[in-house]
Amino acid sequence: MSKFMTAAEAANLINDGDTIGLMGGGGGLMEATHMFEAVQHRFLTTQSPRNLSFVHALGIGDKKTKGMNCFAHEGLVRKVIGGHWVWSPAMQQLARDNKIEAYILPGGVSSQLMREIGAGRPGLITHVGLGTVCDPRHGGGRMNEAARDDLAEVIQMDGHEYLRYKPFPIHVAIVRASAADEEGNISFEHEAANLDAQSLALAARNSGGKVIVQVRERLPKGALKAREVRIPGAWMDAIVVDANQQVSYAIPFDPAFSGELTGQERAASEAADHAAEVAAAQEAFGERQAVARRAYQEIFNTGKARPIINYGVGVPDAVAKMIAARNEHHRIYQTIEHGTYGGTLMDGVLFGYARNATAMLDAATQFDFYGGGGLDVAFLGFGEFDQEGSVNVSRLGGITVGPGGFIDIAQNARKVVFCGTLAAKGVQLQTGDGQMRVLQQGAVKKLVQRVDQITFSGPQGLVRGQEVLYLTERGSFRLTAQGIELFEIAPGIDLQRDILDQMEFTPQVAQPLRVMDSAHFRAA
């Protein structure tokens, strides 16, 4: 019996109350858009399926109508366990209004938990999340009053604390791939990442659930080599062909994103990418570039000849662009949590994509590498940080944001460099001549007495022996056993007026207090 069917037929396999495992990475990355829309259409026309629970590791959507926005309807959704929420303002609003149960999990934990569920093991036992919002002593991942479940518990093993993230059945996995042959074997050949497709399919298959895959192409039996098959046909229940499937919402297909270019074609593509990065480096100089220049200094003082690095969103994008513009990829190993190594990183709506990557791993494996301490340096943004060195990026202004891979990365990198501006809302700065001047202070202080939610735990960072820096356009801070220390100040900045008065706590001030290199603040 053929497993190929229409999206509408596959949507009919979902029952009321099912738990659905989803994948995607923002911008349309490996998103089964056609299937999502089919589920939405079924609900809007029949009011079924109802009361679904969704779990996803990374952000999915376009901030408008796609991705998780397809499921943001009262009655359709009951519960969401999401790694990252910002791509679906509609789902964020349902969470804020307590119309659904809202939870977060670290992105890596979510991917790895699917693998544990599929293997029939008693959940995921890990140190990741200790001391953060995912720790039941700090909220247990609950993001609103409607959320009552405990997703994890604290356990003791060999004298150490761990979190056990509890398993639950996955009734349906909706995954995406490039092609399927007549026997249902699945290939990712033309995809820009692997993400957690394999882990999700495994979880649903061994939960007694259904695996639905959306592909672009139907191939004859035997068309795929055994090593090209990433999910075997034995796991499949339904295969939906969408001939219009795109690599992203805006890009139909580009072999540079799927890492298929070799030889002269690849060399030409890499040269064009480098030229684009050099041109982008000429963008208007501002505080982002100043912080990125200072952060760049932290790459090559790790004691490693070629450190392994991860970049987050925000100011860390500018650090990645600086490396690319200077053609220094050969000096580092560049990674992102989606499973990709090397290449030219995209930003904005295409964060998670890389052109001409050198390797693509499954997300769960990438997070295994991170969790074991494989990262030398991580450059991450911050929403706010406090006197204990804890950082919040997961709930800002009362809105559920979620951590994505932030917790897994920040908690495990040997050195963590948080990059951002010292204040927000209404700030006016002037730089480019070797100094930084504050023309108008911000209405929102980001260096606070206590963060609204702990996405990175400063005390845990000390326990784990991490080197933790917090770099801003006005000064550089570091985590010490005595708390936060200001050890550098930007030229042109007044210590009291521009830094201390704009903080909710008083840091230690190093003596002597270094002045940053004025070159960081020159436009040329």
pLDDT tens figures, 399-426: 999 999 999 999 999 999 999 999 999 9
Residue 466 is predicted with a pLDDT of: 98
Residue 1 lies in a domain: no
301 pLDDT exceeds 90?
no
Residue 247 lies in a domain: no
- For tokens 């109350």, the residue is 17
Residue 246 lies in a domain: no
Sheet containing 447-448: order of strands: 391-392, 384-386, 447-448
Count of structural domains within the chain: 2
Same domain for 167 and 106, yes or no, is: yes
Same domain for 313 and 418, yes or no, is: yes
Q: Indicate if 9 belongs to the active site.
A: no
Q: Which two tokens stand for residue 439?
A: 């023309």
Give the pLDDT confidence of 318-376 residue by residue, as tens digits. Answer: 999 999 999 999 999 999 999 999 999 999 899 999 999 999 999 999 999 999 999 99
Residue 229 lies in a domain: yes
Residue 249 lies in a domain: no
**Helix, strand, or coil here: 221?**
coil
For the chain, how are helix, strand and coil distributed in percent, rounded to 5?
A: 25, 30, 45
Same domain for 377 and 494, yes or no, is: yes
220 pLDDT exceeds 80?
yes
Residue 10 is predicted with a pLDDT of: 98
| Boundary (domain end) residue, out of 241, 258, 277 | 241
Tell me which amino acid residue 300 is.
F
Q: What average pLDDT is seen over the chain? A: 97
Q: Which of 352, 348, 354 is nearest to 329 (CA)?
A: 354
Residue 467 is predicted with a pLDDT of: 98
Same domain for 227 and 296, yes or no, is: no
Residue 253 confidence class, pLDDT cut points 50, 70, 90: very high
Kindly tell me the sign of the dihedral angle through the C-alpha atoms of 107, 109, 111, 117. negative
Residue 286 to residues 237, 281, 293, 341, 470, Cα–Cα distance (Å)? 53, 12, 11, 29, 18
302 pLDDT exceeds 90?
no
| Boundary (domain end) residue, out of 207, 241, 275 | 241
Same domain for 358 and 457, yes or no, is: yes
Same domain for 272 and 214, yes or no, is: no
- For tokens 């960072």, the residue is 461
Task: Choose, from 101, 337, 388, 473, the residue flagged as catalytic.
Answer: 337
3-state secondary structure labels for all residues of 3-33: CECCHHHHHCCCCCCCEEEECCCCCCCCCCH
CATH of the domain at 349: 3.40.1080.10
Residue 280 is predicted with a pLDDT of: 78
Residue 258 lies in a domain: no
Same domain for 233 and 321, yes or no, is: no
Give the pLDDT confidence of 113-171 residue by residue, as tens digits. Answer: 999 999 999 999 999 999 999 999 999 999 999 999 999 999 999 999 999 999 999 99
User: Rounded distance, CA 42 to CA 48, Å?
Assistant: 6
Same domain for 218 and 284, yes or no, is: no
Residue 257 lies in a domain: no
Same domain for 59 and 107, yes or no, is: yes
Q: Give yes or no for a cis peptide into 307 (omega within 30° of 0).
A: no
Q: Which of 385, 388, 395, 389 is nearest to 420 (CA)?
A: 385
Same domain for 237 and 278, yes or no, is: no
User: Rounded distance, CA 210 to CA 68, Å?
Assistant: 20
| Boundary (domain end) residue, out of 241, 258, 282 | 241
Same domain for 296 and 440, yes or no, is: yes
Residue 262 lies in a domain: no
Same domain for 293 and 230, yes or no, is: no
290 pLDDT exceeds 80?
yes
User: Rounded distance, CA 75 to CA 495, Å?
Assistant: 54
| Domain residue limits at 43 | 7-241
